[in-house]
Amino acid sequence: MPLEYPYQDHPASGEAREIVPGVRWLTMPMGGGSLNHINLYLLDDEDGWYVVDTGLPLKEVQALWHELFLNELNGKPVKGVICTHMHPDHVGNAAFITDLFQCPLLMTHGEYYQARSFSGTGPGNHSSWQGEIFYQRAGMPKDYLEGMQQMWQKRSDDGFTMPTMPTGFQRLKDGDVLTIGGRDWSVVVGSGHSPEHACLHCKSLGIMLSGDQILPIITSNVSVFPTEPDADPLRVWMESHDKFMSTPSNTLVLPAHNLPFYGVRERLRELVDHHEDRMLAIEEHCVEPKVAKDLLPVLFKRKLDPRQMMMALGEAIAHLHLLMHRNRIERSLGEDGRYHFTSIDPGLDRRANPDRHEEPDDSPIMV
């Protein structure tokens, strides 16, 4: 069954649209590019509001927040900020809002401390020796890191670097229940896109705030980075999808990007099938040894800029690591200093489907 979209457009900037009494939806800009918005939410708790995710740390976004505080909160304060995960479009204004209202930040342990570590000083992936080794082993030339440094300088001007985080937080854990506005919101944690992503599910309303864990159109980035070069994020991402399949089928999903939708189980199956198809295509291309860079055309059809290349490599390596976990790919370090990946499953000929794969994605999206 196709997904159903009860809304045809997003709220105007500076406005909050009521989904049901006590739940409001607003949209903040994210600048140019293929993804130009983020959905944020307000939960009414009678004597104040909880903000769910906060947008990029841009002056334009903070001006819209001030406008919302004046016009959309019915004279009540913000009493808490809930961030689903640690990416800048979600935590970007957490310190700004919590400082303004002197209210707590609520996040999972893994997301808060990941955000804190990335908002500190020190070399990033693009300027460290770890990053140099990681990308060279993926098949990238040394001058690639120079292009990455220039790219990240531009991205910092666009608000895509980690902001300063609040100095403390209240920990959310899987299975916790937050009573807001007389209704129970269960914390459901997934992983893969980020370490410990929190979704909020209110069974009585039939609503889930899914953050980036479940999106209706785009596929969240699931990547391996130099900070944890042997990570297996796609495995836990797929396991999280199995977990979220227990979500009632009539749940209205309020995502961080695209439009609210019905059809959570159908979408989860689509996402699982998408990644399984990509992994099979990679296996077929690794009958002869390949480096990660060789596999980018399997996943993406457009020429990639340095930022997109970084994300695309991370996604390719994530697929390779799950295939290694399944004993379908083996990795060896060649004399050229690069990792070479080779298919080893004797049943590949039976499973191969070279003429019926999904078309490669246009390019990776910064989600």
Identify whether 359 is part of a domain. no
Using pLDDT thresholds of 50, 70 and 90, give the confidence band for residue 153. low
Using pLDDT thresholds of 50, 70 and 90, give the confidence band for residue 301. confident
Identify whether 282 is part of a domain. yes
Using pLDDT thresholds of 50, 70 and 90, give the confidence band for residue 366. low
**Could you tell me which of 129, 131, 119 has the C-alpha nearest to residue 91?**
119
Token code pair at residue 85: 């995960």
> What is the reported pLDDT for 359?
81
**Could you tell me which of 230, 233, 214 has the C-alpha nearest to residue 222?**
233
Using pLDDT thresholds of 50, 70 and 90, give the confidence band for residue 35. confident
> What is the reported pLDDT for 118?
83
* Residue range 119-141: mean pLDDT, rounded: 78
* Residue range 269-291: mean pLDDT, rounded: 97
Identify whether 301 is part of a domain. yes
Identify whether 356 is part of a domain. no
Query: How far is residue 173's CA from residue 188's CA, in Å, rounded to a whole number?
Result: 8
User: Is 47 in contact with 79 (CB distance < 8 Å)?
Assistant: yes
Identify which has the larger pLDDT, 361 or 327: 327
The reply to whether 166 and 195 lie within a common domain is: yes
- Whether 151 shows a pLDDT value over 80: the answer reads no
Q: How many domains does the chain have?
A: 3
The reply to whether 294 and 248 lie within a common domain is: no
The reply to whether 213 and 296 lie within a common domain is: no
Length of the chain in terms of residues written: 367
Query: How far is residue 166's CA from residue 45's CA, in Å, rounded to a whole number?
Result: 22
Domain of residue 105, CATH code: 3.60.15.10
- Whether 124 shows a pLDDT value over 70: the answer reads no
The reply to whether 243 and 144 lie within a common domain is: no
Q: Return the H-helix or E-strand segment holding 53.
A: none
The reply to whether 139 and 285 lie within a common domain is: no
**pLDDT tens sequence across 65-117:** 999 999 999 999 999 999 999 999 999 999 999 999 999 999 999 999 999 98
Of 239, 262, 285, the one marking the end of a domain is 262
The reply to whether 184 and 224 lie within a common domain is: yes
The reply to whether 27 and 150 lie within a common domain is: no
Identify whether 364 is part of a domain. no
User: Is 72 in contact with 18 (CB distance < 8 Å)?
Assistant: no
User: Is 97 in contact with 64 (CB distance < 8 Å)?
Assistant: no
Ranges 34-38, 203-207, 229-233: which has the least confidence = 34-38
Domain of residue 286, CATH code: 1.10.10.10
Q: Where are the alpha helices (DSSP H) in 198-301?
A: 233-244, 264-285, 296-299
Domain span at residue 147 reads 125-157
Identify which has the larger pLDDT, 257 or 121: 257
Of 262, 288, 309, the one marking the end of a domain is 262
User: Is 84 in contact with 52 (CB distance < 8 Å)?
Assistant: yes
Average pLDDT, the chain: 92
Identify whether 6 is part of a domain. no
The reply to whether 68 and 177 lie within a common domain is: yes
> What is the reported pLDDT for 145?
73
